[in-house]
Amino acid sequence: MNKLLAALSLTTALTMTTSAAFAEVKIGAIFDLSGGLNIYGIQQDQALDLAVASINEAGGVNGEDIVVVGYDAQSELSKYTQFAQTAVLRDGISAMFAGLTSSSREALRPILREANIPYFYSSLYEGGACDRNTFVTGSSASQQLSILMKWAVENYGPRVYIMAPDYNFGTISGYWIHKYAEELGAEVVGEDYLPLSMTDYAPTIQKIQAAKPDVVVAIPVGSAQTGFLEQFAAAGLKEDIGLISTNYGSGNQQIVVSPQAGEGYMSVMNYFPSASGETNAKFLAAWEEAYGTDTPVVTGSVDVWNAVHLWAAAANQAGTTDTDEVIAALQSGISYEAPNGTVTLEPGSHHLRQNMYIARGNANNGFDIVETFTDTAPTFENEICNLVDNPDVVEHFTPEN
Amino acid sequence: MELDFLATVLLSSLSSASILLIATLGLAVVYGLMGVINLAHGEFIMVGAYSALTATQIGLPFLLAIPFAVVTTMIIGAVVELLIIRKLYGRLFDTMLATWGLGMVFNQVAILLFGTVSPGIGMPQWSFKVGDYSLAVYPILMIFVAAVMLAFIYLLMTHTVYGMKARASIQQPQMAQAIGIDSSRVNTMTFAIGSGLAGLAGAILLPIIPATPSMGLFFAVKGFLTVVVAGPVTLTGSALAALGLGGGASVTASFMTSVVGDVFFFLVTAILLWLYPMGISAKWRRKL
């Protein structure tokens, strides 16, 4: 009986796969739908589904419907490699959309390069990834910090304190803060790199007071950030010291933080829901219809949305989903009318030239956009990485080397 | 080094140690009085935090939300003891595995019920000044809370019938049963109290550490190490271990970097366990 059942299910599975081979193109998706990182992963996945639905509605890719093969990485690195192998070897995907942390990207990158499948990484990160098969639609640390540091020194003053998590996102961001501070004639008066699981911010808050900065760049990750904000505000430091960040809001931290602590916290990002423009209004309407209004859209979702649309546009332009031709199309200076304005894929660095917004946390757990910087280039990546001329480079560049 | 800086370091380190102790006491009680290592302890803290949060959202003042969270977690704890822990008495590793799995279930249920981000309740915006330095009042208040919790558990264990029965059940199990103590009922009560203490921690620390489904992780590692370093004399041992490890790490972080503070915590734990494999209190003559 058991054997019969197994044989039956096998035949059904086979018929299903064969029938699925008609007029469909498969893409892989691996995001953290459970575990600690799911504050980002769930929305990334929702954005992917929404983008695929909108493309299919408009006629699909070269007349074929996109089908998503999705996996839950459970916030574990080993699951990323495992599911990427499965997606490549079994599912026969034409493109991969996956990953949140830099370590997940670095785990996935070799697998998709080996399989020669385009891979889209959609998250803000420290910058510097350079690989012919990898395309980055989030913003890089230098892209954000060049703008934010200038604004902060002009608006708060020249004494800067760095408070960052102790891994490559934090330390590389630290490097850029030092570099831009120097260029702007400002001074880094103190810095503290914290373990990721930190909940005790009292020592940092004392050190900040001892250093007497004009502005603190605070970029702890995820829910740890909110604990720091509450203590910083409750200690009464907000009146005298500005607080800026490149990741505040990326996981909707502004919802968790109480209004009295979050108001006035400055963030720079390539998307805020309050961005102007008709494309954004349409995007938000579609999002709210699908997922409701409970959780504001985060930047990572728009990054995924843009990635899927850029890939589909490239595949349509190439007239095929064949990897080499799609990559050639992606390297043709392709651009897309995105919720965050026009985004253009830089042919050499595979990073996005896109709008940057400086926004201020308001009293209603949201953001008010203070200034918009259109068409900001990923300068560091463009300088260091040219995949058109050197397609064989595989490197994660850090500014020090 | 200026005097005002030293004073603030001392105060905030005491507060760090107290926060660690508050988060650890429930674990210590269950381990000390039942010999059960509850790997879902962090998730009980999370349940407490969400209970308090929900209570404030339906309009209860924060001070009433705390007992609400305690009662909720006590009931859940009692049910868990009856359904799971009871079946696994004396099987230390099986209990660890079962409670670990339970923690995962709690975590996922929290995601399903509350989503991934919930509004926090914020910290009371009170501060005071020591010389040039300004300190938030609420974290400092935790020193007082930890002291009250310690006194409460001490009195519960030494001055109530339940406390005497609980201690008898762990120190002389056969004798306790022979004189008619229903040790399984005592254990249900003990586990419920341990869970309630975790719930209290989650609720009272809510303004400092906002409720997230994975918040249990923040407490799990350091809490367990504190209990293991403390050893068999649950109460005094835990208080001392929390003060030494948590306070020490905080002082180190103030004078050096936060990473060095964490290194201090884990290094001192390793050294202490190397010197006292059964915990620092293994040879003490106190019982609590």
Structural domain boundaries in chain B: 3-215
Are the C-beta atoms of B47 and B106 separated by less than 8 Å?
Answer: yes
Are the C-beta atoms of A242 and A155 separated by less than 8 Å?
Answer: yes
Question: For A132-157, how does the pLDDT look when each residue is reduced to its tens digit (9 = 90+)?
Answer: 999 999 999 999 999 999 999 999 99
CA distance A261 to chain B (A): 7
Selected residue of A74, A230, A291 to mutate for chain B interface (largest B Cβ count, 10 A): A230
- pLDDT reading at B16 higher than 80: yes
Contact A38 B208 (CB under 8 A): no
Q: Is B60 helix (H, G, I), strand (E, B) or coil?
A: coil
- pLDDT reading at A76 higher than 70: yes
Cα-based distances in Å from B182 to A49, A373, B76, B89, B162: 57, 72, 21, 15, 11
Of B19, B214, B250, the CB nearest to A35: B214
Of B116, B124, B217, the CB nearest to A38: B116
Q: Which CATH superfamily is domain A142-269 in?
A: Response regulator (3.40.50.2300)
Of A197, A206, A233, the CB nearest to B254: A206
Token duo for residue B126: 């009170």
Residue B203 pLDDT grade (very low, low, confident, very high; cuts 50, 70, 90): very high
CA separation for the pair B191, A228 (Å, rounded):
33
Contact A197 B12 (CB under 8 A): no
Q: The tokens 């429930």 sit on which residue?
A: B26
The pLDDT mean for chain A works out to 89
Looking at residues A379-390, what average pLDDT do you find?
A: 93
Looking at residues B82-101, what average pLDDT do you find?
A: 89
**C-alpha dihedral (B49, B55, B58, B61), degrees to nearest 10:** -110
The pLDDT mean for chain B works out to 89
Contact B122 A259 (CB under 8 A): yes
pLDDT of residue A333: 93
pLDDT of residue B265: 92
- pLDDT reading at A13 higher than 60: no
Q: For residue B108, what is the nearest residue in chain A, using CA coordinates?
A: A34
CA distance A75 to chain B (A): 11
| Residue of B132 and A179 predicted with greater confidence | A179
Contact A206 B138 (CB under 8 A): no
- pLDDT reading at B198 higher than 60: yes
Residue (of A82, A89, A86, A87) closest to A104 by Cα position? A82
Structural domain boundaries in chain A: 23-139+276-355+376-396, 142-269
State the CATH class of domain A23-139+276-355+376-396.
alpha beta
Restricting to B residues 153-212, those with a Cβ less than 8 Å away from any Cβ of A are: 207-210, 212
Contact A223 B215 (CB under 8 A): yes
Question: For A296-319, how does the pLDDT look when each residue is reduced to its tens digit (9 = 90+)?
Answer: 899 999 999 999 999 999 999 999
Selected residue of A74, A206, A228, A294 to mutate for chain B interface (largest B Cβ count, 10 A): A206
CA separation for the pair B210, A285 (Å, rounded):
30
* Maximum mean pLDDT: which of B7-16, B107-116, B163-172: B7-16
pLDDT of residue B1: 60
CA distance A367 to chain B (A): 15
Residues of chain A contacting B207 with CB distance shorter than 8 Å: 230
What share of chain A has pLDDT > 70, as a percent?
93
Token duo for residue A261: 């602590």
Fold equal for A23-139+276-355+376-396 and A142-269:
yes
Residue (of B198, B207, B209, B210) closest to B118 by Cα position? B210
Of A36, A252, A255, the CB nearest to B214: A36
